[in-house]
Structure 1
Amino acid sequence: METKISRDMVEKWLKAWSLSRKLPMPVRYKSGFKIEVGEEKQKIRYVFSELNDDFVELSEQINDPWIYLKVCSSPDEVKGKVSEKWIVQPQGYMMYCFRPMKSSGTSLCEDYRIEHEEYNSTTVVKIIAESGEQASIGRIVLLDDLAVYDRIVTEEAYRRKGLAGFLIRELEKIALSKGISNNFLVATEQGKAVYEKMGWKLYSLYTSIVITEND
């Protein structure tokens, strides 16, 4: 069952997201938030905790490409409120686990090693294969009483080996070492199944729309 969406929770997650990606902090924009991302194919992102008039009005005002509007709502609900100039992106899932995760008891094969890096309030954990290739990587940001997980990726050649689950638990150890067991992230369709096995639950559907370059 979905939980009532907290604007404060969305703001805290966005702050952690910005720290992880070394971007400016989010600023308030009406009932939502704005982040200057500055990338070629993501100039700005606006994030709203609910599908409301502020979101719809902004969608009508924007005509420039690569400005993302994101909202805690389903794709069908969003499609019904915005014009056809907007392209709906693959479904995202805000998820939470406000307790220690379920453990599978798996360990890392001796063919791999772990590396750590720290910046801002972020710790990066990498799993490196015997060949020296990066097999998996993820980040955790500790902000107040919340641990936010970000950009967790396992390379195609190393998938289905249990690396993602092991990596997430390594990130969790960092949070638990600071007494934090409130965990939060946005997952893809593929990642959602992995997190559910570890006890994560759906917080909200998360839909993104963007205008792309004209052909």
Structure 2
Amino acid sequence: MLEPVGTDAVLRWQRLWGVARGLPPADRLDGALRIPYGGATRQLEYLVFDDAAVDDVAALAARTRAAWVTVVTPEPLPISARLAARGLHLRSASETLMAISWADHPRRPLPEGYRAETVRDATHVVTVRVVDATGELAAQGTLAVDGDDAVPDRIETQRAHRRRGLGAAVMSALADRARDEGATHGLLIASIEGERLYSSLGWRALSPVVVAVSRV
């Protein structure tokens, strides 16, 4: 079992994840953050970093349309049960907060027939796009960087281009950007599929993450 992760790591991840997605700053609550996401299926998100806050936050979310509750916790099964007991629908009990030192991130080359393009989307945000010989988008990923921290987000490979090492190549390109901009620490939250990729690149698990959504 993993030990409880420090609040600082959760806050650092969320801040840059929010930057990567162009979100307003989060509001600090007791044991949680309230994030104005603003999407049709995710209007509001609560990020809980203290298990003691779960019940109160779940009660708030249960009364709110399209509200998500994300809990970084070493006890995913009991937390999942507590969220369900407050009327939330469990979306995932198997995501993972992960970290790496960018100096240790390996380099993976692009397969033949592909090339990478890097676009700066904002002051602290870059996107790497991988295209094939016809110029069709094959894979992409975004990176938010500020100070020592860099957070990758939305690492995606198009279905027709999967199982060719493009995800690893995108992560390698993002790692190069992170190092170029002076970042030393990487943080991300991975799905089950993503965790397999990131683990193969040296990312280490810090904590399980549970995600639930309101039913209203």
Superposed pair shares fold, TM > 0.5: yes
Report the more deviating stretch, 85-94 or 196-205. 85-94
Amino acid at match of 1:78: I
The equivalent of 1:125 in structure 2 is 128
Does the CA contact (< 8 Å) of 1:65 and 1:210 recur in 2?
A: no
CA–CA distance in structure 2, aligned partners of residues 47 and 80 of structure 1: 17
Amino acid at match of 1:28: R
How many residues get paired? 211
Looking at secondary structure, tell me which structure has more helix per residue. Answer: 2
Are residue 36 (structure 1) and residue 39 (structure 2) matched? no
Seq. identity, %: 23
Q: Which runs of 5+ in 2 are unaligned?
A: none
Does the CA contact (< 8 Å) of 1:98 and 1:182 recur in 2?
A: yes
Does the CA contact (< 8 Å) of 2:35 and 2:45 recur in 1?
A: yes
The equivalent of 1:19 in structure 2 is 19
Find 1:173's aligned residue among 173, 176, 181: 176
Runs of 4+, deviation exceeding 3 Å: none
Q: Please state whether the residue corresponding to 2:103 is helix, strand or coil.
A: coil
The equivalent of 2:116 in structure 1 is 114
Are residue 72 (structure 1) and residue 75 (structure 2) matched? no
Cα root mean square deviation, aligned = 1.8
Q: Please state whether the residue corresponding to 1:76 is helix, strand or coil.
A: helix
The equivalent of 2:209 in structure 1 is 206
Q: Please state whether the residue corresponding to 2:143 is helix, strand or coil.
A: strand
Amino acid at match of 2:153: D
Does the CA contact (< 8 Å) of 1:114 and 1:128 recur in 2?
A: yes
CA–CA distance in structure 2, aligned partners of residues 201 and 44 of structure 1: 29
The equivalent of 1:88 in structure 2 is 90
Q: TM-score normalized by structure 1?
A: 0.91
